[in-house]
A and B are shown apart, each in its own frame.
Chain A
Amino acid sequence: MAMTGVVYNRFPEIAAKFPVQLHKVVVQTVEITNELASANAPKRTTFMASNIYHVTSDGSTYGQGIPPPTDDVYLLPEGPSVSDPYTGYAACAANYSELVEGGTRFMSAQPFFYPAVEEGRSRFEAALAAMWSFL
């Protein structure tokens, strides 16, 4: 009785898709972190919320928010560019962002960035766990 078998080797195909999918996970993570931080941020003029940005190897969204509404606030310099497709970051450009996040002597902390980072971390792990289905 003859027996036949078929061997599938999809490793080259998987290997080709792997870096593409990893890059997508990185981009999606920094984008969602950026969006959540902007959504959570306290808003009076929206200068701070609209000037939270993210940087990946695809580019930067720095400077796309509204311009400084008053003379005493300004944008911090843009963070370093990223060439590695597996690296990305979200950041706050408004000079007073850290004071809102951490609080001052007469103002309670109003955290908006760290909660977004926390959620971004959860989504990063979930995206990595589901990545196999895209390979």
Chain B
Amino acid sequence: MSEVAQAYAWISSTMRADSALMAAAVGGVWQGLADIGVIAPYASYAQQANSDVLTMNKVRLWASMLLQIKAVGSVKNYDALVIIADRIDALFKSVRPTALPGGGGVLECYRDGSIALDDPRPVNGVQWTSLGGLYRIDLQGT
């Protein structure tokens, strides 16, 4: 199974299981862009970069992925964005080996850097922004 798909599923289920995060992220959790019309703030995740860790004989050991996981919303709700970003960090900043439901597992997950990015133009007259982090996830697939 695709390691990226496994990582996405793990991130999504981990965030959805966090009641504090879901209470603040009223728009839900989205892979990449949220649908048009979704109420902000919401949480979003997407792949940023990816490389495989191989043996000398080029047998894949695990995938080392960099994913952006962030809160997105208007600056009017910045307090909620901070809550979401803090919960994201609490969930993913230091994950030790964790088995995944479909087999394989997350070997480690930690933050590689932070994200704080304002949208270039207002949306319906309101400034939007993103707050979160780039997380390194080493995942051994099935």
Q: Are B46 and A103 within 8 A (Cβ)?
A: yes
Contact B123 A105 (CB under 8 A): yes
Contacts of A102 in B (CB 8 A): 48, 68, 115, 117, 130
Per-position 1/0 for B108-142, Cβ under 8 A of A: 00000001010110010000101000100000000
B47 within 8 A of A: yes
A108 lies within 8 A of B120 (CB): no
For the complex, would chain B's binding face be called helix, strand, loop or mixed by DSSP majority? strand
A71-B121 Cα distance, complex, nearest whole Å? 15
What is the interface residue range for chain A against chain B?
Answer: 20 to 34
Complex Cα spacing A101 to B49, Å: 10
Interface size on B, residues (CB 8 A): 20
Q: Is the C-beta of A109 less than 8 angstroms from some C-beta in chain B?
A: yes
Residues of B within 8 A of A107 (CB): 33
A109 lies within 8 A of B32 (CB): yes
CB-based nearest A residue for B130 = A102
Bound-complex Cα distance A103 to B33 (A): 9
Interface residues of B (CB under 8 A from A): 32-34, 46-51, 66, 68, 72, 115, 117, 119-120, 123, 128, 130, 134
A-B contact pairs, 9 of them (CB 8 A): A96-B120, A99-B120, A102-B48, A105-B33, A105-B72, A105-B123, A108-B33, A114-B66, A119-B51
Which residue numbers of A lie inside 8 Å of B, CB to CB? Answer: 96, 98-99, 101-109, 111, 114-115, 117-119, 121-122
Given A99-B120, A108-B33, A111-B47, 6 more pairs with CB closer than 8 A: A102-B130, A103-B33, A104-B130, A105-B72, A118-B50, A118-B51
